[in-house]
Each structure stands twice: as structure tokens, then as C-alpha cells.
């Protein structure tokens, strides 16, 4: 089946402007065009877009999605390499979680010092002090 960019967007869950952005950035190949210049996507194109959206939902950066996509479309589906990429990404997600949890602790600690008064906030004092 052939689809307009709007249909492709609906089917894949990727916004129209974002699809064009991916094309500009070379994440997806440029699709065919109608005589009047409108983009035409086939089912494979839509699948690629859906794949990208799922990867983005998982927080993969564009560069790694590009790698995953080329592994996938070259039909190699090289598991070991996918494993490496997803492992690296998983590690970065876990690092972010650790950082945020640390931050949460510090923030909750500071926040806890705030009373209900209207002056001389201890949190501001701590942030300004030294």
C-alpha cells in the first residue's frame, strides 16, 4: 500500500514535521514522490518510521537508531551488535537514574528545611552560603 505523509504519520505515530526532519537528517531514505512532488510511503517505509518511534520511546539517540536501523534493514539482524548498542544505552539510562535519585535526595533534603514562614528561607541560605 501507498501512503501520504499524513497517513504515514498516523500509522507510525511519528509527526509529519518529524518525518521530514528524519529525512533531512538522513535517518530515513527520501521516499518516492508523486508527479506534483508529494511524498509517497510504502509499508516498509511506515514500518521503519514505527521502528524509529519505538526506539525514541526507549530513549535511543538518533545516532544509535541509525545504527540499529541499518543492522535491521541490511537484513543481517546481527544480534551481537544490537546487544552492544542496547547494553550501552541501558547503561546510560541507569546512570541517569542514579544521578536523578541522588539529585532527588539532595533536593528533598533542602526542601525539607523550608518552613512555612515568609522570610529567611533556610534553603536559599544554604544555596547562597559558603
Partner DNA sequence: TCTTGATCCTGTAGCCGCTACAGGATGCAT
Partner DNA sequence: ATGCATCCTGTAGCGGCTACAGGATCAAGA
Long-range contacts (CB closer than 8 Å, 24 or more residues apart) made by 109-117: none
Q: How far is the CB of 58 from DNA (least distance, A)?
A: 12
15 near DNA (CB under 7 A): yes
* Nearest alpha carbon to residue 53 among 91, 4, 87, 10: 10
Question: Would the CA dihedral through 59, 62, 68, 73 be positive or negative?
Answer: positive
| Cβ burial, residue 31 (10 Å; 0-12/13-18/19+) | middle
Note the residues at the interface with a second copy (CB under 8 A).
47, 50-51, 54-55, 57-59, 68, 71-72, 76-80, 82-83, 86-87, 89-90, 93-94, 96-97, 100-101, 103-104, 106-108, 110-111, 114-125, 127-128, 130
The nearest distance, CB 34 to a second copy, in angstroms, is 26
Interface residue list for DNA (CB under 7 A)? 4-7, 9, 15-18, 20-21, 34-39, 56, 61-63
Amino acid at each position: 500500500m501507498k501512503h501520504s505523509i499524513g497517513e504515514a504519520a498516523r500509522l507510525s505515530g511519528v509527526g509529519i514535521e518529524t518525518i521530514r526532519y528524519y529525512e533531512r537528517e538522513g535517518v530515513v531514505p527520501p521516499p518516492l514522490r508523486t508527479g506534483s512532488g508529494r511524498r509517497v510511503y510504502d509499508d516498509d517505509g511506515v514500518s521503519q518510521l514505527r521502528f524509529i518511534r519505538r526506539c525514541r520511546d526507549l530513549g535511543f539517540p538518533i545516532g544509535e537508531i541509525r545504527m540499529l536501523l541499518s543492522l535491521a534493514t541490511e537484513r543481517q539482524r546481527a544480534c551481537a551488535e544490537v546487544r552492544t548498542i542496547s547494553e550501552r544505552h541501558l547503561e546510560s539510562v541507569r546512570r541517569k537514574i542514579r544521578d536523578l535519585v541522588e539529585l532527588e535526595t539532595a533536593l528533598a533534603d533542602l526542601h525539607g528545611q523550608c518552613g512555612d514562614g515568609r522570610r529567611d528561607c533556610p534553603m536559599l541560605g544554604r544555596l547562597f552560603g559558603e
